Structure 1
Amino acid sequence: MHFKNAPLYAAVAAAVVTMTQSNLALAQDNSQMELEEVVVTGSRNLKPRTVSDSPVPVDVLNSEEFNSLGNTADITDNLKALVPSYTATPATGDGSAFIRPTSLRGMAPDQTLVLVNGKRRHRASLLQFFAPAAGNGAHGVDIGMIPSIGLKSVEVLRDGAAAQYGSDAIAGVMNFRMKDASEGGTVMVQYGEFFEGEQSTKVGANFGFAVGDRGFVNLTGEFYENDGLSRGDQRPDAQALIDAGAQGVGSDAVFGDAPFTQSWGRPESDGYRLFFNSGFGVGDEGEIYAFGNYAETEGRYRFFYRSPTHGTMEQFRDEFGYDGPLNQTGYTPYLDGDQTDYSLVGGWRGNFANDMTYDFSVGYGKNELDYYLNNSTNPDLGLGSDGEPIQRGFDTGDLEQEELNFNADFGKALTDSLFLGFGAEWREETYTIIAGEPNSYFGQGVSGMRGTAPQDAGEFDRDNWAIYGDIEHDITDNWLMQYALRYEDFSDFGDTTNGKIATRYRFADDFTIRGAVSTGFHAPTPAQANVRSTITTFDGTTGLQVEEGLVPPTSPQALASGGAPLTEEKSTNYSLGFTWDIGENTTLTVDGYFIEVDDRIYRTGDIAQPDGTSISFFTNALDVEHTGLDLVLTNDLYWDDSTSTTFTFAYNHNEIEVVDQSLVNGIQPVSDSLVEDIENNYPEDRLVFTANTRFLDNWWFMFRANWWGSHYDERGTIDGEPGSRSKEIGDLWYVDLELGWDITENWNVTLGGSNVFDEYPDEIGDDGPYANRVSVGLPYPRRTVTNYEGGSWYLRASYNF
């Protein structure tokens, strides 16, 4: 497709019904602030398709725009700042502090399929127990392991695509294209500082090398270090101790925010991310390719404060006669989460003698999350010879996710107007829970995150195979039809068949209507089907610490309480929209959607047991509907021969409604308050406005405004009694700025600011009718997608060669 001076943020629609995992491509000139040509191949057919040729929408972000942001924890924040329908909440607790919960169109993290270079990316090792309600219990991908400097482009498909890709492609597909240049590269150094003083540094490099006449190797390395943020207030109970003369309260702070006894904000993190991408010509028509990553990251997150009146301290005093300094200060545990992530994908693609295309590939990926809880206690261990708790640091156990994929894809043009694509896939997933050290689960276990006991540990796997086919048919020059069908069989829950029909009709050269209907699914993961653990949480009404037992849905306890083996989540997607080229330099796309998801997997509430304990388990609990609208308007404005501005306005409206529940022994598995949170925690309206201006040949200026509509805090209920009512969080604007200068052909420097007006979401105090967290030192809504980090500035220098 050909666009004269198309904007960096192009709302490009791909012919996704037959989108392949091997040849989705974006051709662009990254040395310009405008694109001379955008090419998206959205089918196994190598025939390029234009915006008006495409039946479903895709957002295409090139690397320059994607990286026009500083002081981010990882690329999750980059996507959040650019794609209105994509959200990510702040670090929320336990593993969710290190693998962030995300959402596309208000859905769960595992309802969006993630690809790298068109190949399925392996999941993270974490089940999201502390995600926002809409994503709780999900098992998705951690895109934070991908180095931003190695990205060539990112494509976000906003439509169901399970008939092409299989499980998870309900909300859409995100494809991360890695750089494939065979020469040149970039070295980048960035330093940033928040207005509150915390620092952030990142160093990255990308190099391309030619190998022979038809080969390349492209290497990326990224190293970063982020200080932990502290955006809360002192807890009243801790302040009372200080006022009473207690010495050392908060001295165990690890983010430099003493005497605060509890820290609220982004965790401390550091690590490195490596990636390689390569291809080598074989014969006249073939290519052998390989790519993969290796990353090691470390994070640190501070837990809830244990005051001298906490149950663990009372037990030390009552059972062991403890009279040490913790009686005056209390203590705050903090969790270290170390991730190791690696993958390797290799394949062979090309054309047979009869012009049929082929792509054989195998991919392997693994993610490991290791926990170590510091500065805590297990009171059942007693005291040491020095009169202090016998142990303060605990290995509480590890998590692993491992995946192996085999694919064979084929394509053949049957006539000039008819193309057939087909293929087969086999995949195995293995989820492993590794026990912690014995002292971490002895008795009641370590306070804050009881270690995994041997009976809760184990290795759980399943495999599946699929066959699929699709047809692309140009009925006339103006009318395109696409059909896709996929059959998939899983070793644990059975088989599923999904299909898709999509069409576009060009009424004029500048106006096209498009639409699609499809079915999709998310298969229950081995983790969701087998996880067993004890969760430490806090009751939403009383605020007291609660221990909950999570058991597999097929365990005897769960079956006796109404549990059943998990089945797949099922979806039906409907979309209808249009594309309109308004003049030479303006494009408008509008797409409405309606998505029905049945049997959404969710964790039950506490179910009382005869022995007085309680259990919970995953079950196919909810039927949910998502209704929305995406609008993208782009315009190029030329002020004079040396000055031009690209404007982008992107807007999303999304409504969520839980329409039904599948009862468990006659009881709702999900409480009314959680249903209310699923429907109201995310804003229904979101927009991003961006203006990129180039001037004086070697300068550029970026202005970006992000707006979030009003939404409700998860704590309390909307119509609750005074003191337990959910606070409505008002709408909010964040403004980002960048000023860049190309000093020479090779050197450039950028000065930028994120949230330059230092805006924060509404505070929730204890002087009104609203449920709040003032007692634990947090004045803001804990899981708001707007975050409560505040403003920052950064300076970035790059050398390009």
Structure 2
Amino acid sequence: MNDRIGKCVHAPKAFSPLASAVNVALATALLVTSTGALAQDSPATPEAATNLDTVSVLGSRTKPRTVSSSAVPIDIISGEEFRNQGATDALDQLKVLVPSFNVSTIPIDDAASLVRPANLRGLPPDNTLLLVNGKRFHRAAVITFLGHGLSDGAQGPDLSVFPSLALEQVEVLRDGAAAQYGSDAIAGVINFGLKKLREGGTAEVFTGKYYEGDGLTTQYSAQIGLPLTERGFATLTAEWRNADDTSRSVQRDDAAAAIAAGYPGVGQPAQVWGSPKIDDDFKLVYNLGLSTDNVDFYLFGNHAKRDVDGGFYYRDPTSRSGVYSNDGGDTLLVGNLTGAGACPSIALRDGSGTLLPYAGVSAAVAALPANCYTFLSSLPGGFTPRFGGSLEDTSVFAGAKGTWEDWYWDVSGSWGRNEIDFTIYNTVNASMGPVQPAGLSFKPGGNTQTEKNLNVDVSRDIATGFSSQPLRLAMGAEWREESFTISPGDGPSTAIGPLTQQGFALGSNGFNGFSARTAGTFDRRNWAAYADLEAQLTERFLLAGALRYEDYDSFGSTTTGKLTGRFDFTENFAVRGAYNTGFRAPTPGQANISQISTVFGGTALEDIATLPPTDPIAQLKGAQPLTPEESKNVSLGAVWTQGDWLFTVDGYQIKVEDRIALSTSFAVTPAERAALVAGGNPEAASISQVTYFGNAFDTTTTGVDVVTSYRSDHFGGTTTYALAANWNRTEVDRFDTDFIDAARVYKLEESLPRTKGYFSVNHQRQVFHANLRFNYYSSWYEDHLDSGVVSAEDGGLPIHAGSALIVDAEVGWKFASGLYFSLGAQNLFDRVPSKNPWAGVAGAEYPVHSPYGFNGGFYYARLGWTF
């Protein structure tokens, strides 16, 4: 491979005056305060306990444990640490605090730009289970059609619906836990622990923007704690946010050629790559508790809404198939509106392939008979659809817990719903000709994910004669119902117009509406029973086991187990390990979704239908019913502690069989297309490619986590040093060559950095705090625009990007009055990936799936009051 094309070496951008000013201000504040700190006589008392002593509900169904005493690796992140950074989205906040957690910007990836897929330990987002206060949270309604290979077809939870102000702490279990919590917990578990306040509160305003001057973000947060009688609490947290979109784009080659040929109305740039615009992002979280003499009652949940509006692919006025030309751009696509009289052919290029001047082409268009129509007459500069949607997320959890004789019991129920209504505008339904909806706006319909859970959990300690510690037994049962609803789109978004048979594309171009024929509600029910036993066999040896049986009405039952052990050689050194089996059930959405989208197939746009395995078109290409993914997870680690010093290292291997994902796209021949239409599948008239869900490959993910922290009295205050790093590699052991290709395998193995980590310094002295974080990302790979070929010599668009070091910094003051203020910069030195060598193909200035984004530096300020 040509190194000049195939490698991207990272380099910082030239500093803007604004970036320089932010850097100087932060550096000055850090220097002045550090100098002053040396003169202090005694350190201030820390405000919070070290996370060595903070307990987590994860890892054991019996007794909460601390980070240092747990038999499995757990990260505990305080709500304060979670919030003290420039990111306002929970996904981006986790990304810089958990090394094996990855998420990118996702600028143009259909529904994935609305609910971004995140990867823990190199596995898809639906391999990570999300809990709130220890209870299962529902998944999002969005299925990731375009997930950069790794997340294609995944349906994970939406972590962005929680305001960080509501969080007491975030716990991340870095180990498989399906035997304890059920389906999805293959890569690990994330638990959001909510605050419990009886009094006081916080009001805060946050604002920031990128060094480039765009992406202005404004956020208002408020929290209040209220007494609920004398023995209860009610904590309410609300957040409202607006974030402007960004653009890191250059002009596309085809758009530049159209401008040079005189075509009017071509955008500058014609296509925007950047973060989507987020309007009215409102989040409400409530957490209520009430204690009586024998029973504790609890009620918590959330409600969130947001509108997302993002860019899409540019439709070139001389070559977009199904709209402007069906022969690669040689001649214009002209439709006959009445069928009377033939329409003349209009050339777009000369014999050498050069684009003809617009003046001559437009004159020929103007001379067309009245019954002949071309979109060049109404949209001569092409068009770029805008795609987005309105998301609404609601959940409610209610339960009671208490003791009965020697038993502890917890009975709860929950209901959760994630709903999205898609919108696409500035586009056309080409098959309808000149009759288009007002504002060229379409409502393609939406998806809704609804889940109901009922849980009964009991536990008790059982005295034994062989140990001073009792056996700890936990048992429980769960019933769950999960449903996925496809809501039909409006008439124009699904219409099969009169020009369909003349080669014009049907449905809203870019994202077809869900047809009434494929709309509906698809549900699944299951029940489970589990048992968890933990024994401190000796003062030094802990052994625990869990077993879970789960039965589904759609594909039968499964049994999973887990065995965990820990041996403390001394008070300061221990080894720990675990072996577990796991599973992930295919979701009703994956089994039933049907959608037609437009993707960039390397050099041109293509309409691809994502179909359920039961669809006759998918079955024509080999689709089979879905079965669960099955996993085996083994880990081995060690823990060292000494006073305020902690060091852990954990190695792991995760084998997943029959992974569920989207297939590669299969071409539909004209004969197959005609047969499908004749057989009662009218939407097949515009389909050129199809893809579907299937169990297609096995993988082995191997990795090592290293976490260490040290708390000191350096610089006249409390200074905490923390280092966390992850090395992770995924190998595809088996794959169906008829289902995925070598390019997809390469993306699965190489698209994420193999090494990712951070080193942070947090200094707290009296009213002042300063945070400095160095984030490291090793090299990574991007198959730009999903060209489907690994090598540039074979026509692919590979980007092999180099490593990068990103620096974040924040300084702040918190006064006795409760007033606090902070100033910071995320990506302080404005680091971006090197320029995209294929930028002219689709206009992306940088690789679009960069693990640390491509927007550059972001500066911010936060002002608040705690009362």
Judge same fold: TM > 0.5, yes or no. Answer: yes
State the Cα distance separating 1:260 from its structure 2 match.
1.7
1:487 matched to 2:559? The reply is: no
Residues 726, 699 of structure 1: alpha-carbon distance in 2 compared, 3 angstrom cutoff? same
State the Cα distance separating 1:242 from its structure 2 match.
3.8
* Contact preservation (8 Å) 1:350, 1:357: yes
Report the Cα distance in structure 2 between the residues aligned to 1:749 and 1:34, rounded to whole angstroms. 23
Report the Cα distance in structure 2 between the residues aligned to 1:564 and 1:644, rounded to whole angstroms. 59
Report the Cα distance in structure 1 between the residues aligned to 2:744 and 2:48, rounded to whole angstroms. 48
Report the Cα distance in structure 2 between the residues aligned to 1:159 and 1:37, rounded to whole angstroms. 20
State the Cα distance separating 1:726 from its structure 2 match.
1.9
State the Cα distance separating 1:418 from its structure 2 match.
0.5
Q: 2:165 aligns with which of 135, 149, 152?
A: 149
Question: Which residue number in structure 2 is paired with residue 688 of structure 1?
Answer: 758
Question: Which residue number in structure 1 is paired with residue 481 of structure 2?
Answer: 428
**Structure 2 unaligned spans of 5+:** 1-44, 326-331, 337-371, 464-468, 497-505, 674-688
1:40 matched to 2:109? The reply is: no
The equivalences for 1:464-613 within 5 A come to: 464-540=526-602, 543-559=603-619, 561-581=621-641, 583-607=642-666, 611-613=671-673
Q: 1:621 aligns with which of 677, 689, 696?
A: 696
Question: Which residue number in structure 1 is paired with residue 395 of structure 2?
Answer: 343
Question: Which residue number in structure 2 is paired with residue 17 of structure 1?
Answer: none
Question: Which residue number in structure 2 is paired with residue 273 of structure 1?
Answer: 283
Report the Cα distance in structure 2 between the residues aligned to 1:45 and 1:496, rounded to whole angstroms. 20
Question: Which residue number in structure 1 is paired with residue 98 of structure 2?
Answer: 83
The aligned amino acid for 1:785 is P
Question: SS of the residue aligned with 2:81?
Answer: helix
Question: Which residue number in structure 1 is paired with residue 444 of structure 2?
Answer: 396
* Contact preservation (8 Å) 2:451, 2:480: yes
The equivalences for 1:194-273 within 5 A come to: 194-198=210-214, 199-244=216-261, 246-250=263-267, 259-270=268-279, 271-273=281-283
Question: Which residue number in structure 2 is paired with residue 11 of structure 1?
Answer: none
Report the Cα distance in structure 1 between the residues aligned to 2:52 and 2:540, rounded to whole angstroms. 25
Could you report, residue by residue, the CA deviation over 1:320-345 in whole angstroms, capped at 9, with x for unpaired residues? Answer: 43487655422111013100110001
Could you report, residue by residue, the CA deviation over 1:116-160 in whole angstroms, capped at 9, with x for unpaired residues? Answer: 111111110011111121111011101101111111110000000
Could you report, residue by residue, the CA deviation over 1:191-234 in whole angstroms, capped at 9, with x for unpaired residues? Answer: 11111112110000111111112111000000000000101112
Question: SS of the residue aligned with 1:700?
Answer: strand
Q: How does the TM-score come out when normalised to structure 1?
A: 0.90
Question: Which residue number in structure 2 is paired with residue 362 of structure 1?
Answer: 413
The aligned amino acid for 1:501 is L
* Contact preservation (8 Å) 2:90, 2:162: yes
Aligned Cα RMSD in Å?
A: 2.1
Seq. identity, %: 38
State the Cα distance separating 1:762 from its structure 2 match.
2.1
Residues 787, 44 of structure 1: alpha-carbon distance in 2 compared, 3 angstrom cutoff? closer
Q: 1:673 aligns with which of 737, 740, 743?
A: 743
State the Cα distance separating 1:617 from its structure 2 match.
1.9
Report the Cα distance in structure 2 between the residues aligned to 1:351 and 1:364, rounded to whole angstroms. 25
1:66 matched to 2:79? The reply is: no
1:412 matched to 2:421? The reply is: no
Alignment: residue pair count: 744
Residues 516, 713 of structure 1: alpha-carbon distance in 2 compared, 3 angstrom cutoff? same
1:94 matched to 2:169? The reply is: no
Q: More displaced, 716-725 or 176-185?
A: 716-725
Question: Which residue number in structure 2 is paired with residue 639 of structure 1?
Answer: 714
Report the Cα distance in structure 2 between the residues aligned to 1:141 and 1:233, rounded to whole angstroms. 34
* Contact preservation (8 Å) 2:51, 2:66: no
Q: More displaced, 683-692 or 721-730?
A: 721-730
Q: 2:843 aligns with which of 777, 787, 795?
A: 777
Question: Which residue number in structure 2 is paired with residue 708 of structure 1?
Answer: 777
Could you report, residue by residue, the CA deviation over 1:297-355 in whole angstroms, capped at 9, with x for unpaired residues? Answer: 00001111112213313577544434876554221110131001100010010101x12
State the Cα distance separating 1:538 from its structure 2 match.
2.2
Question: SS of the residue aligned with 1:149?
Answer: helix
Q: More displaced, 303-312 or 620-629?
A: 303-312
Residues 519, 390 of structure 1: alpha-carbon distance in 2 compared, 3 angstrom cutoff? same
1:184 matched to 2:232? The reply is: no
Report the Cα distance in structure 1 between the residues aligned to 2:49 and 2:564, rounded to whole angstroms. 33
Report the Cα distance in structure 2 between the residues aligned to 1:557 and 1:450, rounded to whole angstroms. 17
State the Cα distance separating 1:531 from its structure 2 match.
1.4
Question: Which residue number in structure 2 is paired with residue 448 of structure 1?
Answer: 510
* Contact preservation (8 Å) 1:681, 1:784: no
* Contact preservation (8 Å) 1:228, 1:265: yes
Question: Which residue number in structure 1 is paired with residue 346 of structure 2?
Answer: none
Report the Cα distance in structure 1 between the residues aligned to 2:651 and 2:486, rounded to whole angstroms. 42
Question: Which residue number in structure 1 is paired with residue 16 of structure 2?
Answer: none
The equivalences for 1:129-168 within 5 A come to: 129-168=145-184
Residues 639, 71 of structure 1: alpha-carbon distance in 2 compared, 3 angstrom cutoff? closer
State the Cα distance separating 1:113 from its structure 2 match.
0.5
Residues 538, 243 of structure 1: alpha-carbon distance in 2 compared, 3 angstrom cutoff? closer
Could you report, residue by residue, the CA deviation over 1:451-495 in whole angstroms, capped at 9, with x for unpaired residues? Answer: 111112111000000000010001001100001000000010110
1:655 matched to 2:733? The reply is: no
**Structure 1 unaligned spans of 5+:** 1-28, 251-258, 766-771
Could you report, residue by residue, the CA deviation over 1:607-646 in whole angstroms, capped at 9, with x for unpaired residues? Answer: 4567334533211111010000000111112125x42310
Report the Cα distance in structure 2 between the residues aligned to 1:50 and 1:389, rounded to whole angstroms. 59
* Contact preservation (8 Å) 1:316, 1:379: no
* Contact preservation (8 Å) 2:52, 2:646: no
Could you report, residue by residue, the CA deviation over 1:628-678 in whole angstroms, capped at 9, with x for unpaired residues? Answer: 0000111112125x42310111000000000002x4xxx531111101110
Larger Rg: 2
Report the Cα distance in structure 2 between the residues aligned to 1:90 and 1:326, rounded to whole angstroms. 34
Report the Cα distance in structure 1 between the residues aligned to 2:52 and 2:567, rounded to whole angstroms. 26
The aligned amino acid for 1:573 is N
State the Cα distance separating 1:45 from its structure 2 match.
6.9
* Contact preservation (8 Å) 1:383, 1:389: no
The aligned amino acid for 2:411 is F
Q: More displaced, 470-479 or 737-746?
A: 737-746
Q: More displaced, 143-152 or 45-54?
A: 45-54
* Contact preservation (8 Å) 2:783, 2:790: no
Question: Which residue number in structure 2 is paired with residue 734 of structure 1?
Answer: 806
Question: SS of the residue aligned with 1:65?
Answer: helix
Report the Cα distance in structure 2 between the residues aligned to 1:489 and 1:35, rounded to whole angstroms. 38
State the Cα distance separating 1:52 from its structure 2 match.
4.5
Residues 218, 451 of structure 1: alpha-carbon distance in 2 compared, 3 angstrom cutoff? same
Could you report, residue by residue, the CA deviation over 1:411-459 in whole angstroms, capped at 9, with x for unpaired residues? Answer: 0111142011001000000100011011111121121111111112111
Residues 411, 673 of structure 1: alpha-carbon distance in 2 compared, 3 angstrom cutoff? same
Question: SS of the residue aligned with 2:517?
Answer: helix
Residues 245, 616 of structure 1: alpha-carbon distance in 2 compared, 3 angstrom cutoff? closer
Report the Cα distance in structure 2 between the residues aligned to 1:51 and 1:380, rounded to whole angstroms. 61
Question: SS of the residue aligned with 2:150?
Answer: helix
Could you report, residue by residue, the CA deviation over 1:496-552 in whole angstroms, capped at 9, with x for unpaired residues? Answer: 000000000000110000000000000000011111222322213xx2222223332
Question: SS of the residue aligned with 2:749?
Answer: helix
* Contact preservation (8 Å) 2:252, 2:271: yes
Residues 764, 754 of structure 1: alpha-carbon distance in 2 compared, 3 angstrom cutoff? same
